[in-house]
Structure 1
Amino acid sequence: TNWLDEMVKELESTNAKYTEEEMKERINAEKKLKTFPRLEFGDPGIYERMKKLPSRRIILTHLPPHLLPPSVLQSTAKILVLLRNPKDTAVSYYHFYNNMPVLPSFASWDEYFEAFMKGKLAWGSYFDHLVEWNKYIDHERIMMINYEELKEDQILGMKRIAAFFGFSLSEEDFHRIAKETSFQAMKEKSNETHGKFGDILFRKGVVGNWKDLFSKAQNEEMDRKFEDCLGGTKLAGKMKYDVYCKA
């Protein structure tokens, strides 16, 4: 989400052609939030402060649809949903859990895997999350994009995102933004952009890291779980599970 956030902000600001003064105003407005601009973080006053963010507001969340304010889905707001294959998601979340001071650590990957499969983690079950978003896959104001397709061809992915939001950029703009928001570029400047959380948020940024940790039994268990929850759905087809999650 941090990677996608940076991409969308760059696309939006390039399209809007903000002056230096306007950019300062936007940056200062975000600083006044006094937390990450996520719907689920912060004190109750965060929502009032978010209202004061200059348009267009770009707000992130890990929440599923039923926990979003109903007004979000009923308004003209557009929602970009980032999907990632569940095996890499599990591995990424494992390292995040064990490195984030405010979350409990797991003694082993096996212990964590059991908790992941049962949804006994912060933000709940990733499978439930996917099942719920699948209900909105044909919604005209919701676009779903895969982490994997962004990794394979970031420029093509950004062009699709720009078209969804109605942004107009040149070919040169897309190439510049791709360079500035590459995983390596963002990791290198993460200490200034994300402070002490930089190293936690930007670890590897690769596809297929799950193969280093999953046992044969775990691999088969997740295949069954995915099939039970999402087999035959449009979301499953979009995620290309057979491409990214088969050994």
Structure 2
Amino acid sequence: MALNKMEDFKFDGTERLPVDYVKGILQPTPTCDMWDQIWNFQAKSDDLLIATYPKAGLDQANEMPSPRTLKTHLPIHLLPPSFIEKNCKIIYVARNPKDNMVSYYHFQRMNKALPAPGTWEEYFENFLAGKVCWGSWHDHVKGWWKAKDQHRILYLFYEDVKKNPKHEIQKVAEFIGKNLHDEVLDKIVHHTSFDVMKQNPMANYSSISTKIMNHTVSPFMRKGTVGDWKNHFTVAQNERFNEDYEKKMADTNITFHFQFS
């Protein structure tokens, strides 16, 4: 269940969802319209929250039986306070920003619940400036990284999950208090692999109306690889990105892998 709600917006297949700001962070207007409800959401102590930057229904959530698994794209400073007050377990997944930018760009191309991304060149500049829904990637990953030492947050990296999925799934299992045998872990690894999930209607969003998500423009689950940014970044863009990255990430010790050796 997501802590961001877009289902009530009526699409006719041509328009895009409008956006506005919540505390300086760009958000789809349905999220803005119900912000008080989101902010005052009452978490339960046994809730598990999955948090990611994008491309990583509150009433329904209230009716879900415990323990609940919820998800959000909110930066840490916009997280409803009850999650911290109730000491909920939170899993945060971060992805290297170059691949994240490419994936988010294609996601916005196909998803009319988000603003049109414009050209790749325009999107590149907007992403660096943090002028995309859910705000700056840099602030997002740094905020959650800083919070992990004060709260029950398991901070994972997408690249680690791709490289050694069994090890990372074992981490998750231990974090949520599950002791899984090897054969169970192997089954989870299989069913959560990109190729299997891409064919799973429960994961690939193929059941969503094409008026909202047009998979002919770009599939919801596109490539899921590490290093695809090389197929999009020009040499000049890569140099500009690296310079910007070093400045914005100078105050943190997070290490990202931009490709596999």
TM-score between both structures, scaled by the size of structure 1 = 0.76
Instruction: Say whether 1:61 aligns with 2:72.
Output: yes
- The correspondence of residues 189-204 of structure 1 with structure 2, limited to 5 A, is 189-190=200-201, 194=205, 195-196=207-208, 197=213, 199=215, 200-204=219-223
Task: Give the number of the structure whose residues are more often strand, by fraction.
Answer: 2
Root-mean-square deviation (CA), in Å?
A: 2.3
Distance in 1 (CA, whole Å) between partners of 2:172 and 2:119 is: 38
Q: How many residues align?
A: 206
Deviation track 1:83-141 (CA, whole Å, cap 9, x = no partner) reads 00000000000100111123333442111101111111111211121222232132340
- Offset at 1:206? 0.6
Structure 2 residue ranges without an equivalent (≥5): 9-33, 38-56
Which secondary structure state, in structure 1, belongs to the residue aligned with residue 223 of structure 2? Answer: coil
Asked if 2 retains the 8 angstrom alpha-carbon contact of 1:190 and 1:198, the reply is no
User: Which residue number corresponds to residue 246 of structure 2?
Assistant: 227
* Code of the aligned partner of 1:131: K
* Identical aligned residues as a percent: 37
- Decide whether aligned partners of structure 1 residues 246 and 219 sit closer, same or farther in structure 2, where only a CA change above 3 A counts: farther
Runs of at least 4 residues off by over 6 Å:
none
Asked if 2 retains the 8 angstrom alpha-carbon contact of 1:131 and 1:229, the reply is no
Asked if 2 retains the 8 angstrom alpha-carbon contact of 1:87 and 1:245, the reply is no
Distance in 2 (CA, whole Å) between partners of 1:193 and 1:107 is: 24
- 1:215 pairs with 234, 255, 258, which one? 234
User: Which residue number corresponds to residue 96 of structure 1?
Assistant: 107
- Decide whether aligned partners of structure 1 residues 198 and 137 sit closer, same or farther in structure 2, where only a CA change above 3 A counts: farther
User: Which residue number corresponds to residue 16 of structure 1?
Assistant: none
Which secondary structure state, in structure 1, belongs to the residue aligned with residue 240 of structure 2? Answer: helix
Task: Give the number of the structure whose residues are more often helix, by fraction.
Answer: 1
Q: Structure 1 residues 215-224 or 192-201, which shifts more?
A: 192-201
Asked if 1 retains the 8 angstrom alpha-carbon contact of 2:105 and 2:120, the reply is yes
User: Which residue number corresponds to residue 91 of structure 2?
Assistant: 80
TM-score between both structures, scaled by the size of structure 2 = 0.72
Distance in 1 (CA, whole Å) between partners of 2:221 and 2:171 is: 24
- The correspondence of residues 138-153 of structure 1 with structure 2, limited to 5 A, is 138-153=149-164
* Code of the aligned partner of 1:186: M
Deviation track 1:15-73 (CA, whole Å, cap 9, x = no partner) reads xxxxxxxxxxxxxxxxxxxxxx2112157584243122111111000001111111111
Asked if 1 retains the 8 angstrom alpha-carbon contact of 2:111 and 2:214, the reply is no
Which secondary structure state, in structure 1, belongs to the residue aligned with residue 66 of structure 2? Answer: coil
- 2:193 pairs with 182, 191, 202, which one? 182
- Decide whether aligned partners of structure 1 residues 70 and 162 sit closer, same or farther in structure 2, where only a CA change above 3 A counts: same
Q: Structure 1 residues 115-124 or 156-165, which shifts more?
A: 115-124
Asked if 2 retains the 8 angstrom alpha-carbon contact of 1:91 and 1:210, the reply is yes
Structure 1 residue ranges without an equivalent (≥5): 1-36
Instruction: Say whether 1:39 aligns with 2:3.
Output: yes
| Higher-RCO chain (CA-CA 8 Å, sequence separation at least 6) | 1
- Decide whether aligned partners of structure 1 residues 201 and 92 sit closer, same or farther in structure 2, where only a CA change above 3 A counts: same
* Code of the aligned partner of 1:144: Y
Distance in 2 (CA, whole Å) between partners of 1:155 and 1:201 is: 24
